[in-house]
Amino acid sequence: MEMGINEFVQWVLGSGGAVIIGSWIAERVPQFQLLSPEKKEYSFFMFTSIIWVAFYLMLNYVPQAFIDAASPYFMGISGLFVVVVLGKIFHRADKIDQE
C-alpha cells in the first residue's frame, strides 16, 4: 500500500510521526549530540513541536491543487528513501566478515 501526501500528513499529526521524524533528524546532527540530556529534551520537544505545527499548517492552509502537483515528487522521494533505508539494512545483514 502506498502512502500519499495526505496519508503521510495524517501519520505525522496523529501517530507520533513528528517524533519519529524529529528523532531521525536529531540523531544525525552533531551539535544535538553535544547537548546535555536536559537541553536535548527541551530542544527535541521544541523541534518536534515545530514539525507538528508545520504539518498542521500544511494540512489546513496549503491549497489542494499544490498538494496534487507535488504528489508525484513526494512519491518519488519517499520511495527512494525507503529503498535507501532497506538497502542499508540489507547491506548490514548481508555483510561478509572479512577477518
Instruction: Dump the DSSP string for 17-52.
Output: HHHHHHHHHHTT-HHHHTS-HHHHHHHHHHHHHHHH
In this structure, what C-alpha cell is assigned to residue 28?
544525525
Q: What percent of the chain has pLDDT over 90?
A: 79
Mean pLDDT of the chain: 91
Q: pLDDT-based confidence at 2, cuts 50/70/90?
A: confident
Does 98 reside within a domain?
A: no
The reply to whether 88 falls in a domain is yes
pLDDT at 96 over 80: no
> What's the domain range around 62?
5-93
**Which residues are CB-contacts of 44 (< 8 A; sequence separation ≥ 6)?**
22, 23, 26, 32
Tally of domains in the chain? 1
pLDDT at residue 42, as a whole number? 97
- Assigned domain for 40 exists: yes
Q: What per-residue confidence (pLDDT) applies to 97? A: 58
Would you state the pLDDT for residue 27?
Answer: 93
Backbone phi and psi for residue 46, each to the nearest 5 degrees, phi listed first: -65, -45
Is the pLDDT confidence value at 38 over 60?
yes
In a domain, 41, yes or no: yes
pLDDT over threshold 90, residue 15: no
Sign for the CA dihedral angle at 16, 18, 21, 22 comes to negative
